[in-house]
């Protein structure tokens, strides 16, 4: 008999297969293209350095998150056992996952601030937001994220296994890797929520100011340089919308879990599917919204003939 649990199992496997064999390789190709052209304009800009770094972190976070799908699919592996006991291997995995996840959120904010600076303070952007400053900011983010996640190495991590009985039906659950102490898990969940809401608040304020500035630019400035800078706002706008929808989903998810809602039993597999979309969407976003990236990727794949004259985003070190 095909149950609702079987439905979630099938959906997550189909989505994961598409992500692993299509979305993830495509994202890696985009990252490789950006890295290969990192010394050429416009790809030598701070914006593409940030986006390339965000892509690397996205892919790594995605693969580490897939370990949680193994427990959902009830795949028995020795590295996940013994259940309900401290697990050193999973402790290292969770530490790296949280470290990268913190970087992922902070990089999203940094990308937004990069666009904000480029549009609101266009004249001084290239002078102050240099590649050297970008590398310093990346190192700062990595260090802050490390400080936030390093306590995990001193906290018990486990893969939990338990049974529930609902309406006379007994179900075996395997969850994790997760924090053995619920209170500690709640603290890290709160820190995760703070990061996500910080993205929404900061980006909302920045975008409100940027769109006002853009209206003034379109009426007063006719230079192609400024207009090209505005075009690089498009991928960040889509990324902002993805984060906004992600927050809306998790508010609904928390409501489902906290109440005896009919969809609460579906919350686990839905969050797994949503995470696939969140972690791997940026490759498609930059491909669709940036003509420079699209042409470079198509040339890399030999789909489009190589263009010898590349139009620069800027005549100085901007973007």
- Please say whether the beta carbons of 180 and 77 come within 8 A: no
As given in the structure block, the two tokens for residue 155 are: 């906290």
Q: Which residues of the chain have pLDDT under 70?
A: 1-5, 166-169, 216-232, 250, 253-267, 304-319
- Please say whether the beta carbons of 106 and 145 come within 8 A: yes
Could you tell me if residue 151 is inside a domain? yes
Instruction: Report the C-alpha gap between 177 and 160 in whole angstroms.
Output: 7
Q: Which residues pair with 169 in a beta bridge?
A: 166
- The CATH number of the domain holding residue 100 is 1.20.1070.10
Which of 35, 70, 68 is closest to 54 using CA atoms?
35
Could you tell me if residue 50 is inside a domain? yes
Could you tell me if residue 310 is inside a domain? no
Could you tell me if residue 149 is inside a domain? yes
Which of 104, 113, 30 is closest to 65 using CA atoms?
104
DSSP secondary-structure letter at 165?
Answer: E
As given in the structure block, the two tokens for residue 313 are: 């985003």
Report pLDDT for 123.
77
Which H or E run contains 191? helix 182-220
Report pLDDT for 318.
40
Number of domains in the chain: 1
Could you tell me if residue 127 is inside a domain? yes
What residue numbers bound the domain in which 100 lies? 4-300
- Please say whether the beta carbons of 101 and 58 come within 8 A: no
Could you tell me if residue 309 is inside a domain? no
Could you tell me if residue 306 is inside a domain? no
Which of 5, 4, 51, 55 is closest to 26 using CA atoms?
55
Report pLDDT for 268.
73
Report pLDDT for 92.
94
Report pLDDT for 314.
39
- Please say whether the beta carbons of 289 and 234 come within 8 A: yes
Report pLDDT for 60.
94
Could you tell me if residue 252 is inside a domain? yes
Report pLDDT for 24.
93
Report pLDDT for 3.
59
Instruction: Report the C-alpha gap between 287 and 238 in whole angstroms.
Output: 12
Instruction: Report the C-alpha gap between 175 and 102 in whole angstroms.
Output: 22
């Amino acid at each position: 008999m095909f149950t609702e649990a079987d439905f979630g199992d099938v959906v997550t496997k189909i989505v994961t297969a598409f992500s692993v064999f299509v979305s993830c390789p495509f994202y890696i190709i985009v990252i490789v293209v950006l890295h290969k052209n990192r010394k050429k304009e416009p790809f030598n800009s701070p914006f593409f350095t940030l986006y390339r770094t965000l892509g690397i972190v996205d892919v790594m976070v995605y693969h580490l998150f897939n370990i949680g799908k193994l427990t959902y699919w009830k795949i028995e592996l020795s590295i996940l056992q013994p259940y309900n006991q401290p697990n050193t291997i999973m402790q290292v995995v969770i530490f790296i996952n949280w470290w990268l996840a913190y970087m992922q959120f902070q990089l999203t904010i940094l990308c937004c601030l990069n666009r904000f600076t480029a549009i609101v303070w266009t004249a001084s952007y290239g002078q102050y937001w240099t590649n050297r400053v970008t590398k310093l900011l990346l190192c700062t983010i990595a260090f802050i994220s490390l400080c936030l996640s390093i306590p995990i190495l001193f906290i018990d991590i486990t893969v939990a296994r338990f049974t529930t009985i609902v309406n006379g039906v007994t179900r075996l659950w395997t969850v994790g890797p997760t924090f053995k102490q619920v209170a500690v898990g709640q603290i890290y969940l709160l820190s995760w929520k703070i990061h996500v809401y910080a993205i929404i608040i900061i980006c909302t304020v920045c975008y409100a100011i940027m769109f006002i500035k853009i209206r003034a630019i379109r009426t007063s400035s006719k230079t192609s340089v400024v207009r090209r800078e505005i075009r690089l706002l498009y991928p960040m706008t889509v990324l902002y919308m993805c984060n906004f929808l992600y927050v809306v989903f998790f508010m609904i998810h928390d409501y489902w879990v906290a109440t005896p809602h009919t969809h609460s039993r579906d919350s686990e597999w839905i969050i797994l599917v949503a995470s696939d979309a969140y972690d791997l969407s940026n490759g498609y976003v930059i491909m669709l919204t940036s003509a420079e990236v699209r042409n470079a990727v198509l040339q890399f794949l030999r789909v489009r003939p190589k263009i010898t004259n590349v139009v620069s985003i800027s005549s100085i070190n901007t973007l």
